[in-house]
Amino acid sequence: MKYRMLICLALFVTGGLLAQNDPDKEEWIQLFNGKDLTGWSVKLAGHELNDNYANTFRVEDGVMKVLYDGYSDYENRFGHIFYKDPFSYYRVRVEHRFLGEQVPGGPDWAFRNSGIMVHCLDPKTMTKEQDFPISIEVQLLGGRETGERSTGNLCTPGTNVEIDGKLFTQHCLNSSSKTYRGDQWVTAEAVVLGGESVKHIINGETVLEYQKPQIGGGSVSGHNPAVKEDGKLLTEGYISLQSESHPIEFRKVELLKLIGCTDKKAKNYKSYYVKSDNSTCEY
């Protein structure tokens, strides 16, 4: 009996603790639990925070959906659903697909259009009428029947970025991605390194990179001017997903922190961290 106990203990130590402390094993956080909208808050233009008009954002069959079956007209109800915690250095990965028909009243440019918004200001700072959060948008686009239409583009509601050391002030910039048509699932990812840089990845391929995300520019309306501190570097913020008048589904929303313990002697050291926060080290 004692011999068996020793074997079990050895297996626990080698198969359990060592695996748990593997510095190369990526520990992804599931922001969407596949069951409900716990941990998320909704903000639609013309509505107060957490007024989820017509059940726009919902969970069905284990998928987060943006649907408009309760709308007679879109009426510029640009919407966003925000995760509860802010992040600074991380990778966020989203599996999504467009489907169905655009709701009546949706603008032509919003056909098969959504986005992952990173470095969002706190949704509590948004006014009732505000259309978009001040943020950096990883734009998600589905292709039309003909013509090319890239996805993983950059859009900048109330923000600017730098490219090759120069301030980029246009609202949107196309990526180098190919066109994705129909109802296929596409994986979009952003690698966000605080106020240093952001990289867009579509189906494993890097399609766009830029630096120094910051508050500035236009393309946001109805906001409180006091929170739009032009020139202020965006070093952290909230993550949100868009509702822009075309139905879309999100079956996975996950995040990998890139900041944490970088002391190799610690139990929770990770080799992939790019930013040190050794106050989190465990020994």
Question: For a pLDDT cut of 70, what percent of the chain falls above it?
Answer: 93
Q: Is residue 7 part of a domain?
A: no
Range of the domain at 265: 27-280
pLDDT at 63 over 80: yes
Q: Is residue 17 part of a domain?
A: no
* Mean pLDDT computed over 191-209: 98
Q: Is residue 2 part of a domain?
A: no
Q: Is residue 20 part of a domain?
A: no
Supply the pLDDT for residue 14.
Answer: 47
Q: Is residue 99 part of a domain?
A: yes
Among residues 96, 142, 68, the alpha carbon closest in space to that of 241 is found at 96
**Residue showing tokens 């203990």:** 9
Residue 135's pLDDT band (cuts 50, 70, 90): very high
Torsion over CA: 86, 92, 95, 100 (sign):
positive
Q: Is residue 36 part of a domain?
A: yes
Q: Is residue 194 part of a domain?
A: yes
Alpha carbon distance 218, 40 (integer Å): 27
pLDDT tens sequence across 72-130: 999 999 999 999 999 999 999 999 999 999 999 999 999 999 999 999 999 999 999 99
Question: What's CA 273's distance to the chain center, in Å?
Answer: 19
pLDDT tens sequence across 168-178: 999 999 999 99
- Indicate the number of domains in the chain: 1
Supply the pLDDT for residue 21.
Answer: 75
* Model pTM score: 0.92
Mean pLDDT of the chain: 94
Q: Is residue 176 part of a domain?
A: yes
Supply the pLDDT for residue 215.
Answer: 98
Torsion over CA: 183, 186, 192, 197 (sign):
negative
pLDDT tens sequence across 243-275: 999 999 999 999 999 999 999 999 999 999 999
Instruction: Specify which residues 209 forms β-bridges with.
Output: 199
Among residues 63, 83, 78, 61, the alpha carbon closest in space to that of 113 is found at 78
Residue 241 belongs to domain with CATH number? 2.60.120.560
